[in-house]
Amino acid sequence: MFANYFLLNLLNKYFILGVLISCSVVVFSQEKITVEPTAINSLNGEYAPVYYKNGLVFSSVSDNNESKSMTGLYFIPFKKNQFGKKVSFSAALKTGVHEGAITFSADEKTAYFTRTQSEAKELNDSITKENKLGVFRATYNGIDWENIVPCNFNTPEYSFGHPSLSLDGKRLYISSDIEGGFGGKDIYYSEITDGVCGSLINLGKEINSAANEFFPFIDAAGKLYFSSDKIGGFGGLDIYTSVFLDTQWSVPELLDSSINSAFDDFSIVWHKNGKEAYFASNRSGTDDIFKITIDYPAFTNCEELKEEQLCYEFYEEATLNVDSVEMIYEWDFGDGTKDNSLGSSHCFNKPGIYPIQLSILDKVIGEKHKELASFELEIKEVFQPSISTPDILIVGEEFNVTVKQGKWKEYAIENFYIDYNDSTITKNKGLSHRYEVAGNKVLRILITGRDVTTHEIKKNCFYKTITVKEK
């Protein structure tokens, strides 16, 4: 099964009688996920979609390929919320051998794609020689792709494919059956330096298993998606996700049945807004591309995030002129601490009501000479979730948002959503994000949970304004 996908799905076509695939809608407690087939699909089979300019690039069997065994790259534009006409993606990348699974740099001027390592032109020759796949690099000259070179890690004994480039263009994720892995096919990454692919580094046992892992996709926040046929999924190939925390990848999370099925589900790609994605599945009998649309709950009635103000500056303007060395000022902060200065800074340990006094002391007799001021300071406790965000950022600077229970007592937080105020929404992840435009950004965080008594889903929204400055 895997070999067919890894070799660009050369011969593996599925025909299942009596199976009808239509739009499916799954409504969770907080959001609605819609999965539906796209108008891209044909009997030829389509897979490995990726966002490019105003449309999608994907891999499909050539329309002119009678044997249905050679795949190539195609482009289909978005036009008025619909797909336009499918066209060949690039004349320069169309060679007659297998091409597919492509990824682009953020500026869309560099591409890494999968191609048969041998340049054999004859179909029968290509198949009988069991040519292996490799990853190639190309640059865009404004008209077409050029400077096509293989990555340094390619070797004729093994296959390499399914590239996915990180947002900063410094790391390329691929899949390979190269010797020394944990199973059949593993996921690796290569550091890119001046356009040159470095040695492959295995992602480790947290990601790879004794089975097969491939079709990696690294999203804009650094979250990894991949497919695996290991035991424990819904059947066939299933899509998993993981994040890199501290020094290792987290335990992969199996995407739920709203996306995964008992069939093969693979080559997922998420839009940077976090609201839509595309992936391939053979659940309809052939490899087809499906669209995922997520309708998040509304961010309404948001209250401003507040912090417990525990530190204060104390001073008294209407004071006596004390010239005598025997007289000193003393602040009594009402929490057992005092300070002998006219102007003082003090941090309290917790909220409460504190009686504040400023006095003049007679050092000789050690008694209060005169009370200059007294008042009560009330520090109110803030019953909000603990949400950590920066106050000021520079354009392009990465930052993280953390959301914890804190002193929120109404319900246990089950899920949280972050609206970054730049058309990007994420769920249950505050991974690295960056703003590309300066200005004041109103960051909104929606938390949800269940009422302990009624089990009713409840939600609350909070906001904080972040200032983003030009570089």
Instruction: Write the CATH number for 192.
Output: 2.120.10.30
Examine the domain organization and report whether 197 and 329 are in the same domain.
no
Tell me, yes or no, whether 269 and 387 share the same domain. no
Which residue intervals of 278-380 are DSSP H helices? none
Both 265 and 174 in one domain: the answer is yes
Identity of residue 100: G
Does residue 219 sit in the same domain as residue 358? no
Please report whether residue 302 resides in a domain.
no
Q: Say if 300 falls within a structural domain.
A: no
pLDDT in tens, the chain (471 residues): 333 444 443 323 222 222 334 555 554 557 889 999 999 999 889 999 999 999 999 999 866 655 456 789 999 999 878 899 999 999 999 887 889 899 999 999 999 999 998 764 444 444 344 678 999 999 999 999 999 999 999 999 999 999 999 999 999 999 999 999 998 999 999 999 999 999 999 999 999 999 999 999 999 888 899 999 999 999 999 999 998 877 889 899 999 898 999 999 999 999 988 899 999 999 999 999 999 999 999 999 999 999 888 999 988 765 555 555 567 888 999 999 999 887 889 999 999 999 999 988 877 666 777 788 899 999 999 999 999 999 999 998 989 899 999 999 999 999 999 999 988 888 887 667 889 899 999 999 999 999 888 889 899 999 999 999 998
In terms of domains, do 136 and 197 share one? yes
Say what the pLDDT of residue 169 is. 95
Question: Length of the chain in residues, anyone?
Answer: 471
- Shared domain for 406 and 342, answered yes or no, is no
pLDDT at position 443 is 96
Note whether residue 226 is domain-resident. yes
The vertex-127 CA angle with 122 and 132, nearest 5°, equals 110
Give a yes or no: residue 181 inside a domain. Answer: yes
213 assigned to some structural domain? yes
Structure tokens belonging to residue 446: 């929606």
Please identify, among 295, 329, 361, the residue that sits at the C-terminal boundary of a domain.
295
Residue 445 forms part of a structural domain: yes
Number of domains in the chain: 3
CB atoms within 10 A of CB 389: 19
pTM: 0.77
Q: Same structural domain for residues 400 and 347?
A: no
Residue 418 lies in a domain: yes
Task: Tell whether 202 and 225 lie within a shared domain.
Answer: yes
303 lies in some domain:
no
Are residues 332 and 439 both part of a single domain? no
Same domain, 237 and 386: no
Please tell me the predicted confidence (pLDDT) of residue 425: 87
pLDDT at position 123: 41
Residue that finishes a domain, picked among 319, 353, 379:
379
CA angle 416, 32, 418 (to 5 degrees): 25
For residue 390, give the CATH number of its domain: 2.60.40.10
**One domain, residues 63 and 80:** yes
Interatomic CA distance for residues 188 and 199, integer angstroms: 10
Name the residue type at position 294: I
How wide is the angle at C-alpha 334 spanned by C-alphas 330 and 340, nearest 5°? 15
Assess whether 323 and 234 both reside in one domain.
Answer: no
Domain hosting residue 338, numbered range: 311-379
